[in-house]
Amino acid sequence: MERIYNIAESFSATPGARYRTDGKFSGEEFYSTVLKDLFADCLKSGDILKIILDGSHGYATSFLDETFGRLSRDFGVSEVTSNLKFVSLEEPYLVDEIFEYIRNSSKK
């Protein structure tokens, strides 16, 4: 089963930068207040987490790298790539970009 999370609707339409110190709606804030627990819950229940990227004012590289790179470091590349999906109709390239951060996270 899939569980859907829309970042623009449920977190912020103007996602920020990397760290909380950079400003509001940072990648660090999104990860620690939403994504980590949501993903852990999905893993427990066997659901696939589908994240909708559309509808925002744009995503900074630092936000995506911090959020999904950290997810990959905490849960493992294999777990994340197997249980995470994205919908990005407005900017299709974001999906490949995020999976690159997920795969490269172990090198950090």
Partner 1 sequence: MKYLNTFVTVVRNKAGYFFVVFFIGSIFGFITTRFSYFNFEKDINIIDFTTLVVSTVVGIYIATSVQKSVAVQKSEKDLIIGEINQIKISLNTISNSVVQNNLPFNDTLFKFKIIITSIYDLQQLTLACNINVSEQINEVKNKAIEIKQLITNISPNTENQKIDVSSIQNRCNILFSDLTLNLLKLIIHINKY
Give me the residues that bind partner 1 (CB under 8 A), please: 14, 16-19, 21-23, 56-62, 65, 90-93, 97
Q: How far apart are CA 31 and CA 26, in angstroms?
A: 9
Q: Which of 22, 88, 103 is nearest to 54 (CA)?
A: 88
Strands (E), 1-108: 2-6, 48-52, 84-87
Q: Which is nearer to partner 1, 19 or 37 (CB)?
A: 19
Q: Which is nearer to partner 1, 16 or 42 (CB)?
A: 16
Q: Which is nearer to partner 1, 16 or 72 (CB)?
A: 16
The distance of closest approach from Cβ of residue 42 to partner 1 in the complex, given in angstroms and rounded to an integer, is 28
